[in-house]
């Protein structure tokens, strides 16, 4: 099942999604890093706004423009330059990929990072890929209760 089908079929998953009037191709997203997961590109090509939530947490995907600004001009890049920040929880947490696999959990792994403590030891590995994390959103265990990387 691809990521779009997953969003449309996952039970107990709340979403706010705005479709693009014209679908984008990967070449049109060339300003983004080319080594990002295909699932992420599939979402960006199809939707202008994505917010997904359930019992475990909320993921608010950045627009292409916001992702570009955050990953090239923000303080987050100064602290963790190898991560790619793609979303937040509309609060004090960011979601990121590790396209260079510096944290050794795979290039598609998803991390939750506190905006106030931008270090590996206080970050959380949520799953090996975006689709795995989306599958966990309806679960009863909050993302906040997942173990920090320092306790692994």
> Per the structure block, which two tokens stand in for 44?
């960006």
Q: What is the CATH number of the domain that holds 72?
A: 3.40.1580.10
Alpha-carbon gap, residue 95 to 108, rounded angstroms: 12
Q: pLDDT digit of tens for each residue in the chain (152 aa)?
A: 677 777 777 666 788 778 777 666 666 665 565 667 888 878 877 888 899 999 999 999 988 778 888 888 777 778 888 999 999 999 899 999 998 999 999 989 999 999 888 889 989 999 999 999 998 998 889 999 999 998 55
How many independent structural domains does the chain possess? 1
- CA pseudo-torsion sign 145, 49, 69, 41: positive
The domain in which residue 71 lies consists of 3-151
Q: Closest by alpha carbon to 125, among 101, 89, 149?
A: 149
C-beta neighbour count of 105 within 10 angstroms? 16
């Amino acid at each position: 099942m691809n990521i779009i089908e997953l969003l449309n079929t996952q039970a107990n998953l709340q979403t706010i999604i705005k479709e693009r009037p014209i679908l984008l191709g990967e070449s049109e997203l060339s300003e983004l890093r080319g080594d990002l997961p295909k699932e992420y590109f599939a979402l960006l090509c199809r939707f202008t706004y994505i917010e997904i939530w359930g019992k475990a947490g909320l993921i608010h995907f950045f627009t292409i423009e916001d992702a570009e600004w955050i990953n090239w001009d923000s303080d987050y890049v100064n602290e963790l330059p190898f991560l790619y920040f793609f979303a937040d929880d509309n609060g004090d947490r960011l979601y990121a990929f590790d396209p260079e696999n510096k944290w050794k959990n795979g290039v598609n792994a998803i991390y939750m990072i506190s905006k106030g403590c931008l270090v590996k030891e206080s970050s959380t590995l949520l799953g090996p890929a975006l689709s795995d994390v989306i599958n966990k959103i309806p679960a009863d265990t909050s993302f906040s209760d997942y173990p920090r990387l320092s306790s692994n």
